[in-house]
């Protein structure tokens, strides 16, 4: 791999955690954030307490708000939310030299267009090598160096393997694949299904119901992904089943926490407005719309969408799902 520097665009919890992991891999890291004052303070004081209590930014990571500095690295990891990715990428495009590897760590579909992350990057940045990084991972675990495994997808197999080796650290293990769309769909759909899992938990319906919901939700994820040509092994891997299991079973998941609040009686407006960003809330409607356009049945995704749009109560949604005709599995 040419050079030893990687830039992380986005200094939120996940981007900062990735920067820490890449530094543990021995890389020189530039961490970019849009707030110039905050990034200057971080670079000078090195205190990460607001994100990760007791942690500090190690030597070898440069914090900056200067995009022209950040894009000097040969590898850019775009760790910004899906709904903000286009805006940030358009700014990056103004200063980005040719021949870079640009990898998105966003999970979702653009609400306005239905585009996946690599499609947004291709539209805004032009001719570069694009990839997606996704899998079962919480920022706090990565930041602490706890064992975590995720998938990296690039169009070229040799490129994917080389980048996975370059970015892997003692705590963060990257598995490589060329199934970009399969990895992207897993990351997008599991967020919506995690909201459903949280709703089941919030209603107190029990672990059996939650297990059934996750299983039937995974069937919906597979159905949708196959329509896009995703590979079965991708869906059964880290970025599909693995990420769904994690996200649909832990209150650390923002999407699960949103569903939990909905199940406990909060309105969508209250639940969304009071917590941290849950990508599934933005992805649900476009995922349901895309499925319908392809003639695919995704009743759990439809139910979550109806709840978020306040067209259906949580109780009625559960009753409708339980009243669906019995069928073969």
pLDDT in tens, 92-119: 999 999 889 999 999 999 999 999 999 9
Of 5, 50, 16, nearest to 143 (Cα)?
A: 16
The answer to whether position 329 is within a domain reads no
**CA dist., res. 211 & res. 242, Å (int):** 14
The answer to whether position 328 is within a domain reads no
Provide the greatest CA pair distance for the chain: 62
The answer to whether position 212 is within a domain reads yes
Of 26, 36, 156, 34, nearest to 103 (Cα)?
A: 156
The answer to whether position 43 is within a domain reads yes
Backbone angles phi, psi at 100, to 5 degrees: -95, 155
Reduced to 3 states (helix: H, G, I; strand: E, B; else coil), residue 327 is: coil
Both 27 and 142 in one domain: the answer is: yes
Q: Report, as residue numbers or ranges, the catalytic residues.
A: 190
pLDDT at 256: 96
Of the residues 121, 148, 178, the one at which a domain ends: 178
pLDDT at 275: 65
**CA dist., res. 17 & res. 219, Å (int):** 31
Q: What is the mean pLDDT of residues 186-214?
A: 95
Residue 71: its H or E element: none
CA distances from 323 to 151, 185, 310, 317 (A): 37, 28, 20, 10
Both 196 and 244 in one domain: the answer is: yes
pLDDT at 320: 87
**CATH number, position 255:** 1.10.1040.10
Both 71 and 211 in one domain: the answer is: no
pTM here is 0.95
Both 22 and 171 in one domain: the answer is: yes
Both 192 and 174 in one domain: the answer is: no
Under a CB-based contact definition with an 8 Å cutoff, are residues 135 and 149 in contact? yes
Q: Is the pLDDT of residue 19 over 60?
A: yes
Reduced to 3 states (helix: H, G, I; strand: E, B; else coil), residue 168 is: coil
Under a CB-based contact definition with an 8 Å cutoff, are residues 191 and 248 in contact? no
Both 199 and 290 in one domain: the answer is: yes
Both 170 and 242 in one domain: the answer is: no
Of the residues 178, 204, 228, the one at which a domain ends: 178
Under a CB-based contact definition with an 8 Å cutoff, are residues 89 and 120 in contact? yes
Both 202 and 269 in one domain: the answer is: yes
Residue 142 belongs to what domain range?
Answer: 5-178
Of the residues 178, 201, 233, the one at which a domain ends: 178
The answer to whether position 327 is within a domain reads no
Both 83 and 219 in one domain: the answer is: no
**CA dist., res. 253 & res. 102, Å (int):** 26
Q: What is the mean pLDDT of residues 53-76?
A: 96
**CA dist., res. 139 & res. 255, Å (int):** 14
**CATH number, position 94:** 3.40.50.720
Q: Is the pLDDT of residue 2 over 70?
A: no
Q: Can you read off the two tokens belonging to residue 169?
A: 């650290």
Both 155 and 206 in one domain: the answer is: no
- What pLDDT, in 10s, does the model give residues 270-322? 998 766 789 999 999 999 999 999 999 999 999 999 999 999 999 999 888 88
Residue 42 CB-half CA count within 13 A: 27
Both 173 and 28 in one domain: the answer is: yes
- What pLDDT, in 10s, does the model give residues 119-164? 999 999 988 999 999 999 999 999 999 999 999 999 999 999 999 9
> Cα torsion for 165, 168, 174, 176, to the nearest 10°?
-20
Q: How confident is the model at residue 1 (pLDDT cuts 50, 70, 90)?
A: low
pLDDT at 50: 93
Reduced to 3 states (helix: H, G, I; strand: E, B; else coil), residue 254 is: helix
């Amino acid at each position: 791999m040419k050079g030893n520097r990687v830039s992380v665009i986005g200094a939120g919890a996940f981007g900062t955690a990735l920067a820490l992991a890449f530094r543990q891999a021995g890389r020189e890291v530039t961490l970019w954030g849009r707030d110039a004052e905050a990034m200057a303070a971080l670079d000078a004081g090195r205190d990460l307490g607001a994100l990760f209590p007791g942690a500090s930014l190690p030597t070898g990571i440069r914090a900056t708000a200067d995009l022209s500095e950040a894009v000097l690295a040969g590898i850019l990891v775009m760790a910004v939310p899906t709904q903000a990715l286009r805006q940030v990428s358009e700014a990056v495009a103004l200063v980005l030299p040719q021949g870079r590897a640009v990898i998105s760590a966003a999970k979702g579909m653009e609400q306005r267009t239905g585009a996946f992350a690599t499609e947004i990057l291709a539209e805004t940045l032009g001719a570069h090598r694009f990839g997606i990084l996704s899998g079962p991972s919480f920022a706090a675990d990565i930041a602490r160096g706890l064992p975590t495994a995720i998938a990296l997808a690039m169009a070229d197999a040799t490129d994917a393997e080389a980048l996975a080796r370059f970015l892997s650290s003692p705590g963060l293990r990257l598995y490589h694949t060329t199934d970009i769309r399969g990895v992207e769909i897993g990351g997008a759909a599991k967020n919506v299904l995690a909201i459903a899992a949280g709703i089941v938990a919030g209603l107190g319906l029990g672990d059996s119901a939650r297990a059934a919901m996750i299983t039937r939700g995974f069937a919906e994820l597979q159905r949708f992904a196959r329509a896009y040509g995703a590979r079965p092994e991708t869906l059964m891997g880290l970025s599909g089943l693995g990420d769904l299991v994690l996200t649909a079973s832990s209150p650390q998941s923002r999407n699960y926490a949103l569903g939990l609040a909905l199940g406990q009686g909060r309105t969508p407006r209250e639940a969304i407005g009071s917590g941290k960003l849950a990508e599934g809330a933005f992805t649900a409607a476009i995922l349901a719309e895309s499925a319908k356009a392809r003639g695919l049945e995704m009743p759990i995704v439809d139910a979550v969408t109806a709840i978020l749009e306040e067209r259906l109560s949580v109780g009625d949604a559960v009753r409708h799902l339980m009243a669906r005709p019995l069928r073969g599995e």
